[in-house]
Amino acid sequence: MKLLLTASLICALLHGAETLRCHVCNNSDCSNTTSVVCPATHTMCKTITSLKVSNSNPLTVSKNCSLPLSCITPPNTATEWSVNRGFTRESHNQICCMSDNCNFQTLATPSVLLNGKECPACASAQDSLAGTCNSTLPCMGVENSCFNGTTTFNSTEVRQLGCLSRNLCSLQAVLGPLFDENLSITCGAPWSIRVSSMLLTFALSALKFLL
């Protein structure tokens, strides 16, 4: 009798641990989804809209069951993050949640609007490899910090410069896969604000009026 009760309890616990259901995409643009039962270890649902300028299919939408460690954002909070090296850029809009089929929504495409900030950058992958980086990169969307660092690729140290969203600065484990190499990076490098000629003319005119 005790053995039967123990077996029943174990089955109930295992069943309860696998009851989370999430939407999973059935096609490339995720316009059609299926609700599936997640594995016991996948305790969150995730939806993410990604934009990659170096990819043949730059815009993708993904919905799936997720491990907690794969959700770098707080639960139920849509968060946008971006890394921009100029010759490559990828940005993501992501939300994770913990109730059945909560990842039904499709998030907006990450912003590509220039935000006025500029960062030092490498003009090309070849310049990055050679370490001859003397270009300036206009930042986009949520990219509010510059970064400066190195990666190691095939035993060669590669210079990395550009713009990124500050919410990634404490997440080296996330940045590593974005660069596809071993990464050592510093956030918060100096950045400048590009002022348009129209705005500058207006400011000078206002100053003359005040004087």
What domains sit in the chain, N to C, each tagged with a CATH number?
Answer: 21-193 (2.10.60.10)
Q: Which helix (H) or strand (E) covers residue 151, if one does? A: strand 145-153
pLDDT at 198: 36
Q: Which residue from 111, 172, 96 is spatially nearest to 144, judged by alpha carbons?
A: 111
Q: What is the pTM of this model?
A: 0.74
3-17, 120-134, 189-203: which is most confident: 120-134
| Cβ within 8 Å of residue 19, ≥6 positions away | 37, 100
Strand partners, 186: 148
Strand partners, 164: 83, 145
Average pLDDT score, the chain? 79
CA angle 186, 71, 17 (to 5 degrees): 150
Q: What is the mean pLDDT of residues 71-99?
A: 91
Q: Evaluate if residue 185 carries a pLDDT over 90.
A: no
Measure CA of the first residue to CA of the last residue in the chain; give whole Å: 95
